[in-house]
Amino acid sequence: MLEELVVHNYALIDELNLQFTRGLNILTGETGAGKSILIGALGLLAGLKADVDSIRSGRDELMVSGIVNVQRIPEALSLLKEHGIEPEGGSIIIRRAVKKNGRSSIFIQSLPVTQKVLRELSRLLFDLHGQHEHQSLLEVENHRKLLDRYGGLEAAASSFQSSYTGLIRLRERYSTLLANEKEQLREIDLLKFSIKEIGEASLKIGEEEELEKEQRIMVNHEKLFRSLEEVYISISENRGGTAADLNRARQALSEALEIDKGLEGRQKQLDNIYYELEDLTEGIRSYRAGIEFDPRRLEVVEERLAVIKRLQKKYAPGIEEILRHGRLCEEKLERIENREEEKASLAKAVAEIEIEVKQKAKELSASRKSAAAVLQGKVEEELQQLGMPKAHFKVEVHERRNKEGKLIYTQTGKDHVEFLITPNPGEPFKKLVQIASGGEISRVMLAIKSVLAESDHVSSLIFDEVDAGIGGEIALSVGRHLKGLSASKQILCITHLATIAAQADNHIKVEKILHSGRAIVCVEGVKGESRREEIARMLAGDKSGETSLRHADELLRKYSL
């Protein structure tokens, strides 16, 4: 709800401050007094295009600001939260400035926003009727929402959207699996080959080192034999080697021990050395005796080493790492093969949820058509009361199809919903935006808004030309509709008809005066005698005539609470 409007340097306005209330706010005044200028200022708050020509002559900048209560508009609160804007006491301040150089700024609370954000927000707050630029009912995408709200179908629409979103996600997963199928087949072949190659090699940890050692011995067996032969000759007792010398030393020390028992420890040391050398000699002899060269064994060893080297070059630098790679290949192959199961499971899930989505769409569509029939009948009744007895209103609900005739489903169902009207007999149904007359479209909007009062979340409705070309009983009906609608919506309405103005909860008089040789627009909330005189002026152009004042009194008594 718009609580306050402040305007500086806009067209003929120097400065004004307007207070609005709940219910029916009526703006009246002489023709040319500047009432539509106020609507233009409101349009800036609603995100309409700013024009530097609107800046008051002699000024460099215009500014429009408004205080709007948003606490009962959940969609607006959600949008504000999305942009990090926090209402204060349930209200926000929208401020817009336009400079002569064309630069402009928009603030909601203290945060700068774009014109796009302002338009998105204002569409949830205001409907301007009388100009096509800012009417939510002219936007076809809103028609489905309004029909669903009117028919109590929002829960069913939400349930369908949830199922449809789940279907889209499953389809995306399934498509991803299919798209990767060829690549996966190639990967499966590579993995199976690697697993087979590594498995058939029967590698053992430490095997490479043992084979290299064996290869080195066989390749150098002659040199190794000669070296060991030299060692054996040098230390063997039988060949006069070191062992023979040690044995003679033992005998000599044994003779000395008979003389001096204190050499017993030395005797033991020498004995130990002799026995260790004897063991060494036997070991060398035994090792030398076992050395033999087998060309076939060398070939086997070298072939095995070649296998290991090839696998190392292909998979990993060591046997342990190759075996680990093989295990990883087995695990990956298992995961990929499980994808086949996943693919089959997904295909089944997609098929099942497709049936669910189609059924929900069918039920939702049938409910929409039933609600549409009721809605269009009620709107036509309202149009007849508003002076359009020949008008026909249609809520068109039809399936969306592509060029091939295939049904198109979206997150809102399978239906295209659109409000259409034919104002005059014999004319085809038209889109609401194609209605040419401002007064006509305002009455159409009033009729629709009256029926959708509880379904439409927009809280403030602004009517500029709703009374154009009407009078008598029709004017009374328009007034009753505005008053009835104001029970659930804030209404701001410019009118020239006293029968409408007399029903105001808040009556604002707009006039143009001369100040210091310049025309300026002034506003004043009228009550009591001032309001009586304004109603009299609207009735007969004479605010002080006895007849017009009596008539004004009758109207005010009739419509005063």
| Residue-wise DSSP of 434-472 | G---HHHHHHHHHHHHHHTTTT----EEEESSTTTT--H
pLDDT digits (tens, 9 = 90+) for 37-66: 888 888 888 888 888 888 998 899 999 999
pLDDT at 407: 93
Pairing of strands 392-399, 460-463: unpaired
Same-domain check for residues 213 and 283? yes
Residue 451 lies in a domain: no
Same-domain check for residues 512 and 553? no
Same-domain check for residues 507 and 491? yes
Residue 401 lies in a domain: no
Q: Tokens 């609603």 map to which residue?
A: 46
pLDDT at 128: 79
Beta carbons within 8 Å of 551's beta carbon, 6+ residues apart: 498, 536, 539, 540
pLDDT at 237: 61
**Least confident residue range of 165-174, 286-295, 324-333, 425-434:** 286-295
- Adjacent-strand bridge partners of 99: 61
Q: Is the pLDDT of residue 498 over 70?
A: yes
Beta carbons within 8 Å of 148's beta carbon, 6+ residues apart: 154, 156, 157, 368
Q: Is the pLDDT of residue 274 over 90?
A: no
Distance, CA of 304 to CA of 307 (rounded, Å): 5
Quickly state the pLDDT bin for 134 (edges 50, 70, 90): very low
Q: What is the mean pLDDT of the chain?
A: 86
- Number of domains forming the structure of the chain: 3
pLDDT at 250: 80
Same-domain check for residues 117 and 207? no
Residue 213 lies in a domain: yes
Same-domain check for residues 543 and 507? no
pLDDT at 448: 84
Name the domain boundary from 334, 354, 376: 334
- Domain ranges, residue 558: 526-561
Beta carbons within 8 Å of 398's beta carbon, 6+ residues apart: 415, 416
Region 441-470 average pLDDT:
79
Determine what percent of the chain is predicted with pLDDT higher than 90.
37
Of 49, 88, 87, 64, give the one whose Cα is nearest residue 10.
64
CATH number at residue 97: 3.40.50.300
pLDDT at 438: 61
Same-domain check for residues 195 and 311? yes
Same-domain check for residues 98 and 219? no
Residue 142 lies in a domain: no
Beta carbons within 8 Å of 473's beta carbon, 6+ residues apart: none
Q: Write out the two tokens for 69.
A: 């209560």
Same-domain check for residues 193 and 268? yes
pLDDT at 439: 63
Same-domain check for residues 99 and 209? no
Same-domain check for residues 516 and 463? yes
pLDDT at 132: 46
Q: Is the pLDDT of residue 187 over 50?
A: yes
CA-CA distances (angstroms) from residue 381 to 129, 162, 437, 447, 481?
Answer: 20, 36, 20, 8, 12
Is the torsion defined by CA of 526, 528, 532, 537 positive or negative?
Answer: negative
Same-domain check for residues 293 and 225? yes
Beta carbons within 8 Å of 431's beta carbon, 6+ residues apart: 140, 418, 420
Same-domain check for residues 7 and 36? yes
